[in-house]
Amino acid sequence: MIKTARDMKSYKKQLHQALGDSFLRSALDKFNTVYRENRSNVYKDIDFNGIRDAIAQNKDSLIPCFEALFEEFKLNAEKAGTIIHRARDAQEANEIIAHIARENKVKKIIKSKSMTAEETFLNDHLEKQGFEVTETDLGEWIIQLKHEGPSHMVMPAIHLSRYQVGELFEKETRQRLDTENIDKLVKVARLQLRPKFLEADMGISGVNFAIADSGTLGLVTNEGNMRLVTTLPRVHVALVGFDKLVSDLKSALRILKLLPRNATGQAITSYVTWIKGANQCLNTESKKKIMHVVFLDNGRLALSKDPVFSTSLRCIRCGACANVCPIYSKVGGHKYGHVYIGAIGLILTLFYHGKDNDKAIVRNCINCQACKEVCPVDIDLPHLIKKTYARVIKEEGKTPVKNFLMSKVMKNRKVFHFILRKAYLAQQPLTRGKPMIRHLPSFLERDHGFRSLPAIAKTPLRDLWPVLSPKLEHPSLKIALFAGCAMDFIYPGHGKALLKLLQKANIQVDFPLDQTCCGLPAMMAAEENTAKELAVQNIKAFGAEQYDYILTLCASCASHLTHNYQKIFREAGGSSLDLNGFTNKIIDFSSFMEKVYPFSETRQNINTKVAYHAPCHLCRGLHVTDEPRALIQKAGYVYVPSKDEDVCCGFGGSYSVDFPEISSEILKKKLDNVEASGADILVTDCPGCIMQLSGGLDKRESPIKVLHLVELLAKFVP
């Protein structure tokens, strides 16, 4: 089904419609949780990281060689009787397949699942040519009846309830059906599809692997329909993207170790099929099946030469980036992709279907890093999404107002901090002297009233520092504090708590006054030059060589300073600054307290239950997971696990301002889980998460108190 482009206004309307679908949200929320549980179980005895890295390395070696691999595949496949074609774009691929059908006097066509055929909108083309086309994968048949595209790359009809499916089947069969009984609905589908297999003249399939050294196709499915599609009709056409080319069987089998596990949480799919050449067929004069393979370029060959985006061609279409995405779990695939769904879809849409189809959806990324963590081929999806947005802006030829203002303000630290200081005065009519803004102006309340907002501090931490942290004579360590905007101007109390802890251990803590925003908000907005300028300012401000560590209490800042600064300067062609000297000394609070600071276990047992929210950029960006929980227990508190505690809280910096309708729903699930844990206190390591979580709980009038981990630990220092 061909889709029309979306601008932000129409996209927002579609998001609200999706959020109003209670079944969709409930089904995808449950799937999101269950998938992550199943995935961890199926990988128990598997070296995911090792296999992932091997696949990525192998893919990177193959991507520049697509032309050579194609020629090798063509040579070997033609020896076995297969006819090979190549198509420049979607239109040419569709025309080649339609020509094959006309040439062989085809009337009825059956298809097995193929995302590449979805990419070219093949069904629409063939039906306009007068062919009868039937999808035979159960999910694909369902959405064909509904005249929709897939909402997931592996589970195309996951967005529909049994009742919606039953209603479709009743229209198709003109019979009353038991919509409560899923098994009976499946039998109805079998009865309807079985004659289609027997009557078909042509079968069309996708492909998971095209093995160059033998000319063999590899197909991975969970339903037997694919084998019927590729064997019963006298003509078989396989539509293959150039990115499915691999050098040998070993490369394919390595991918096969991760593909089903990542896609559906299975150790292996029901069917793995290998097809080579034109097999015997009684329905043709030659007694041989008519076998065609159409290789689709559609931008892949140009993409393979792109120094930034070529890694996107590693993708094996497992769909896991959608499975773990908190946004997908709220709005579904029809609102979180164009044809390709999830994080990879936000990237590939630009290259396969153009900027007009991508310019709205590519902005809808919260940067929680969940997709990157589960990607079986190690694509840095969050980073590429931001690079995609930057390219969309460039192709649009005009800078968004938000980016223009961000660049003008943030590059000038004094102007930026002046505005933050004046915000304290501007908020007075809303705060009325209280620490939270609980009621926004009416024009903001409808969209942004799902949480209370913290008040800007009267005196920022940088102004308090000279009094709070005098110079020590013989310190045990000398560290610099990277405060981050939120701690500096909203939560200076976190800095006070830190000094209370560290001065006890005779640790000198300096606050370089020329430090500014880490630059993550600029990178999120694809404002690359601003992000780089802020990185330069911060590296110069710190003079890292004079410190043992550069400590930050913000997980997002820590991850950005450690990893993204390296990417910024690598892509910009390097820097004369001591980049490694700076990034190597960055350390987050939990790691510092557990590995550097002598924080010993307290002997007192506090009968207070503490739940923990794992900030995305701490648990996934920095892979710090055990340390915060260990510190909570060392402090004598009762740590109570809560469901999905490593799932995003919905903040994402400016994301919660740009997409409040989704941010609020993600937060709601998070707070429901926290309240269900029975906790008295909720602890986290990121000021941004504190802003979101405390604001949400305050709006609920919940008794649960939200603290930064530093505040919890500082309670024990007299």
Q: Per-residue pLDDT tens for 440-473?
A: 877 788 888 999 999 999 999 999 999 998 888 8
Q: Which alpha helices (H) appear in 584-686, and where do they start and end?
A: 589-595, 616-619, 626-634, 655-658, 660-676
Rounded mean pLDDT of the chain?
Answer: 93
C-alpha 639/C-alpha 628 separation (Å) is 10
Cβ proximity of 592 and 624 under 8 Å: no
Token pair recorded at residue 280: 């015997």
Least confident of 341-345, 399-403, 639-643: 399-403
d(CA 342, CA 319): 7
pLDDT at residue 434 in the model: 77
Res 2 pLDDT > 70: no
pLDDT at 576: 74
Q: What is the mean pLDDT of residues 117-139?
A: 97
Tell me what pLDDT residue 71 has.
98
What is the spatial distance between Cα 520 and Cα 524, in angstroms, rounded to a whole number? 6
Q: State mean pLDDT over 477-485.
A: 96
pLDDT(134) > 70: yes
Interval 25-76: pLDDT, tens:
899 998 988 898 889 889 988 999 999 999 999 999 999 999 999 999 999 9
Per DSSP, helices labelled H in 265-377 are: 300-303, 320-323, 328-331, 343-353, 370-374
Structure confidence at residue 483 as a pLDDT band (50, 70, 90): very high
C-alpha span between 518 and 361 (Å, rounded)? 26
Euclidean distance between the first and final Cα of the chain, in Å?
67
Could you report the per-residue pLDDT of 242-278, keeping only the tens digit for each?
A: 999 999 999 999 999 999 999 988 888 889 999 999 8
Whether residue 634 contacts residue 590, with contact meaning beta carbons closer than 8 Å, is answered with no
DSSP state of 470: P
d(CA 85, CA 77): 11
Q: Is the dihedral of CA 472, 476, 481, 486 positive or negative?
A: negative
pLDDT at 605: 73
Q: Which pLDDT does position 603 carry in this prediction?
A: 62
> Is residue 647's pLDDT more than 60?
yes
Confirm if 553 and 687 have CB atoms less than 8 A apart: yes
DSSP assigned state of 113: -
Measured CA to CA, the distance from residue 118 to residue 345 in angstroms comes to 13
Examine the pLDDT at 313 and tell me if it is beyond 60: yes
User: 429, exposed or middle or buried, with CB in 10 Å at 0-12, 13-18, 19+?
Assistant: exposed
> What value, to the nearest 5°, has the Cα angle with vertex 511 and ends 510 and 512?
110
Cβ-based neighbours of 545, under 8 Å, separated by 6 or more: 578, 581
Q: Where is average pLDDT lowest: 80-89, 230-239, 285-294, 600-609? A: 600-609
Instruction: Name the percent of the chain lying above pLDDT 90.
Output: 80
- pLDDT for 525: 94
Strands 453-454 and 436-437: antiparallel
Q: Is the pLDDT of residue 718 over 70?
A: no
Whether 589 has a pLDDT exceeding 80, the answer reads: yes
Using the predicted structure, report yes or no on whether residue 336 has a pLDDT greater than 60: yes
Closest CA to 706 of 632, 613, 593: 613
Which whole number is the average pLDDT over 492-498? 96
Helix (H, G, I), strand (E, B), or coil: what is residue 558?
helix
Q: What is the mean pLDDT of residues 210-217?
A: 98
Amino acid at 372: K
* Cross-strand partners of 549: 479
Residue 717 has a pLDDT of: 66
| pLDDT above 80 (res 557) | yes
- The pLDDT value recorded for residue 604 is 72
pLDDT at 374 over 90: yes
**pLDDT tier for residue 12 given thresholds of 50, 70 and 90:** very high
Give the pLDDT of residue 221.
Answer: 92
Going edge to edge, which strands form the sheet with 245-246? Answer: 245-246, 209-211, 216-221, 271-275
pLDDT of residue 1: 58
Q: What is the mean pLDDT of residues 162-170?
A: 90
d(Cα 613, Cα 78) in Å, to the nearest integer?
57
* Span 329-336, average pLDDT: 95
Residues 585, 547: contact at Cβ < 8 Å? yes
Residue 92 CA to residue 86 CA, distance in Å, equals 9
User: What is this structure's pTM?
Assistant: 0.94
Query: Can you say how many angstroms the Cα of residue 232 is from the centroid of all Cα atoms in its chain?
Result: 39
pLDDT digit string, tens, across residues 174-199: 888 888 888 999 999 899 999 999 99
Is the Cβ–Cβ distance between 210 and 246 less than 8 Å?
Answer: yes
Q: Are 688 and 706 in contact (CB under 8 A)?
A: no
pLDDT exceeds 80 at position 575:
no
**Mean pLDDT across 317-337:** 95
Which residues, listed in sequence order, are joined to residue 599 by a DSSP beta bridge? Answer: none
